A and B are shown apart, each in its own frame.
Chain A
Amino acid sequence: MIRVELAKLLRRPRTWVTIALLSGLPVIVGIFVKASGLAPRPGEGPALLSEVLNNGLLFPAAALAIILPLFLPIAVSVIGGDTVAGEAANGTLRYLLTRPVGRSRLLTAKLVTVITFIFLAVIVVALVALAAGVVLFGISPLSSISATELSPFQTFVRTMLAILYIGWSMLGLGAIALFASTRTDSPLAASLATLAAFVGSQVLDLIEATESIQPFLPTHYWLRFVDFYRDPILWRDVTAGAIVQLVYVAVFLGAAWANFTTKDVTS
Chain B
Amino acid sequence: MSTSSVVLTHQLTKRYASGLLAVDGVDLDVREGDLFGFLGPNGAGKTTTIRMLLSLIAPTSGTVEVLGREVTLHSPHALEGVGTMVEGPAFYPYLSGERNLMIFDGAGAGGPRRTRRQRVRDVIERVGLADVGDRPVKAYSLGMRQRLGLASALLRTPRLLVLDEPTNGLDAQGIHELRTMFVDLVRDGTTIMLSSHLLAEVELICTRAAMMSAGRIVAQDDVRNLLAPTGWVRITTPDLERAVRALQDGPFHYEPIDPITVRVQIGDRAPELLNKAFVQDDIRVRELVVERPTLEDVFLERTGHGDIR
Contact = CB atoms under 8 A, between A and B. Distances in A.
Given A1-B108, A4-B106, A95 B152 contact: yes
B62 to A, nearest CB: 15
Interface of B: 16, 51, 54-58, 73-74, 76-77, 79-80, 82, 84, 86-95, 99, 103-104, 106-110, 152
A261 B73 contact: yes
Contacts of B77: 100
B90 A94 contact: yes
Question: In the complex, which range does the number of interface residues on chain A fall in?
Answer: 20 to 34
A90 B145 CA distance: 13
Contact of A92 (B55, B73, B79, B92): B92
A261 B74 contact: yes
Given A95-B152, A265-B51, A266-B51, A101 B92 contact: no
Central interface residue in A1, A90, A99, by most chain B CB within 10 Å: A99
A91 B88 contact: yes
8 contacts: A1-B107, A11-B99, A91-B89, A94-B87, A98-B76, A99-B104, A261-B73, A264-B56
A120 B209 CA distance: 53
Interface string A1-31: 1011001100111100000000000000000
Contacts of A1: 106-108
Given A11-B99, A101-B107, A262 B58 contact: yes
B86 A100 contact: no
Contact of A95 (B57, B80, B90, B99): B90
Among all A-B residue pairs, the 3 with the closest Cβ atoms: A91-B90, A99-B108, A100-B76
A12 B136 CA distance: 12
Nearest to A92: B90
Given A3-B106, A7-B103, A103-B73, A13 B94 contact: yes
Given A98-B55, A98-B76, A262-B73, A8 B86 contact: no
Contact of A8 (B51, B80, B92, B108): B92
Given A4-B103, A94-B84, A94-B86, 4 more contacts: A3-B106, A96-B108, A98-B54, A100-B79
Given A94-B90, A95-B84, A264 B79 contact: no
A147 B56 CA distance: 61
B231 to A, nearest CB: 44
Interface string A166-200: 00000000000000000000000000000000000
